[in-house]
């Protein structure tokens, strides 16, 4: 079994971006990170994005609207950021508060600043194999992990568990694309799928993005399969100082001896998601001609 180490694989990407930004003579790239509420995971994610941006030389603006902000007021914040020529990328951290319609917020972000790749235009470009847009960061990170681990999807059966806008749908589209490293045969499974283990056992590459702790068990995995675990779940653990530990959507201890390659949680997909967000931000400035 080979561990696909996202921290290690993301390091040269971060280094490349750092060199590109350092070589710029004008304004440095800028990303606006909007977080509504104090969800512990969201706080942690935004802090990590801010830290990585600083390491690369990207300016980050942290915007913390009140937790009870109305839809119209959050949309006005997005409109102001869209109009601000010193902001290259905009990310509104998900999940948002229950009074907010996330889809409308994703659509509100100008396509040229939609560095999270969740707006209609950028998702459409993925479906059209058009790389002039921005690919959603976690799916882009998954594809980069596979490519940099020597996994070519051509002729492989790729099974995705989960059909979310953030991961399942876009990663299925990326794996299908007619381009080097892709060309996979893709099956998307979800809560309505019958006899799920019979399908997952056919997977040469299994991508678990269902949001259920240790959902994928050894009996669901074909020996030698490549396992990409997107999940990050907190489960109670009295032996830990925090009172919890992080696990993925895959039962790592029992699945890893069967797998050919597998990502850990944490330290697998997560670091790549952040690296792809930074890459998209630098690309956004480059495409805008503002560098």
Q: Spell out the SS3 assignment of the chain.
A: CEECCHHHHHHHHHHHHHHHHHCCCCCCCEEEEECCCCCHHHHHHHHHHHHHHHHHCCEEEEECCCCCCCHHHHHHHHHHHHHCCCCCEEEECCCCCCCCCHHHHHHHCCHHHCCCCCCHHHHHHHHCCCCCCCCCHHHHHHHHHHHHCCCCCCCCEEEEECCCCCCHHHHHHHHHCCCCCCCCEEEEECCCCCCHHHHHCCCCEEEECCCCCCCECHHHCCCCCEEEECCCEEEECCCCCCCEEEECCECHHHHCCCCCEECCCCCCHHHHHHHHHHHHHHHHHHHHCCC
Is the pLDDT at 291 greater than 70, yes or no?
no
Of 45, 79, 112, the position where a domain reaches its end is 112
- Inside any domain, residue 275: no
Domain count, the chain: 2
- The per-residue pLDDT of the chain, averaged, comes to 96
Instruction: Examine the domain organization and report whether 194 and 82 are in the same domain.
Output: no
Residue 176 and residue 79 in one domain? no
What pLDDT is attached to residue 27?
Answer: 94
| Better pLDDT: 234 or 13 | 13
**pLDDT-based confidence at residue 179 (cuts at 50, 70, 90):** very high
Residue 18 covered by a domain? no
Say yes or no: 258 and 149 in one domain.
yes
Is 119 inside any structural domain? no
CATH assignment of the domain containing 145: 3.40.50.720
How much of the chain, in percent, has pLDDT values that exceed 70? 99
Average pLDDT estimate for 96-108: 95
Answer yes or no: is 121 within a domain: no
Is residue 49 part of the annotated active site? The answer reads: yes
Predicted local distance difference test score (pLDDT) of residue 38: 87
235-268 residue pLDDT tens: 989 999 888 899 999 999 999 999 999 999 999 9
Reply yes or no on whether the pLDDT at 290 is more than 70.
no
Q: Are residues 105 and 177 in the same domain?
A: no
- Whether residue 101 lies in the annotated active site: no
Query: What residues make up the domain containing 183?
Result: 137-270
Residues 265 and 148 in one domain: yes
Q: Considering the domain boundaries, does residue 48 fall inside one?
A: yes
Which pLDDT band holds residue 134 (cuts at 50, 70, 90)? very high
pTM for the model: 0.95
Q: What is the pLDDT of residues 135-166, one digit of tens each?
A: 999 999 999 999 999 999 999 999 999 999 99
In the set 88, 114, 116, 229, the catalytic residue is 116
Q: Is 19 contained in some domain?
A: no
- Are residues 101 and 153 both part of a single domain? no
* 245 and 142 co-located in one domain: yes
Output the pLDDT for position 160: 98
183 lies in the same domain as 89: no
pLDDT band at 39 (very low <50, low <70, confident <90, very high): confident
Q: So what's the pLDDT on residue 40?
A: 82
Of the listed 88, 93, 114, 177, which one is catalytic? 93
**What CATH number should be reported for the domain holding residue 42?**
3.40.50.10860
Same domain, 103 and 141: no
Same domain? 163 vs 257: yes
Query: Do both 95 and 33 map to the same domain?
Result: yes
pLDDT of residue 289: 79
Shared-domain flag, residues 98 and 153: no
């Amino acid at each position: 079994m080979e561990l696909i180490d996202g921290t290690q694989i993301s390091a040269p990407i971060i280094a490349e971006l750092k060199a590109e930004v350092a070589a710029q003579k004008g304004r440095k790239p800028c990303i606006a990170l909007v977080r509504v509420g104090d969800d512990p995971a969201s706080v942690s994610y935004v802090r990590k994005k801010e830290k990585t941006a600083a390491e690369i030389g990207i300016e980050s603006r942290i915007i913390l609207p009140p937790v009870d902000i109305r839809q119209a007021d959050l949309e006005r914040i997005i409109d102001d950021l869209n109009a601000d020529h010193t902001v290259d990328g905009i990310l509104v951290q998900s999940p948002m508060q229950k009074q907010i319609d996330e889809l409308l917020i994703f659509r509100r972000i100008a396509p040229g600043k939609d560095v999270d790749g969740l707006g209609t235009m950028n998702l459409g470009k993925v479906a059209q194999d058009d790389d002039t847009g921005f690919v959603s960061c976690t799916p882009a990170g998954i594809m980069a992990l596979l490519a940099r681990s020597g996994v070519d999807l051509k002729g492989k059966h790729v099974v995705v568990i989960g059909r979310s806008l953030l991961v399942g749908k876009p990663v299925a589209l990326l794996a299908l694309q007619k381009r080097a490293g892709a060309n996979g045969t893709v099956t998307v499974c979800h809560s309505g799928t019958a006899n799920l283990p019979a399908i997952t056992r056919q997977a040469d590459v299994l991508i678990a993005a269902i949001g259920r702790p240790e959902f994928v068990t050894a009996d669901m995995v074909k020996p030698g399969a490549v396992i990409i675990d997107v999940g990050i779940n907190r489960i109670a653990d009295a032996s830990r100082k925090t009172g919890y530990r992080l696990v993925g959507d895959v039962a790592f201890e029992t699945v890893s001896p069967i797998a050919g390659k597998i990502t850990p949680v944490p330290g697998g997909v997560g670091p790549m998601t952040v690296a792809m967000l930074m890459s998209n931000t630098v690309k956004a400035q480059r495409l805008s001609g503002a560098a």
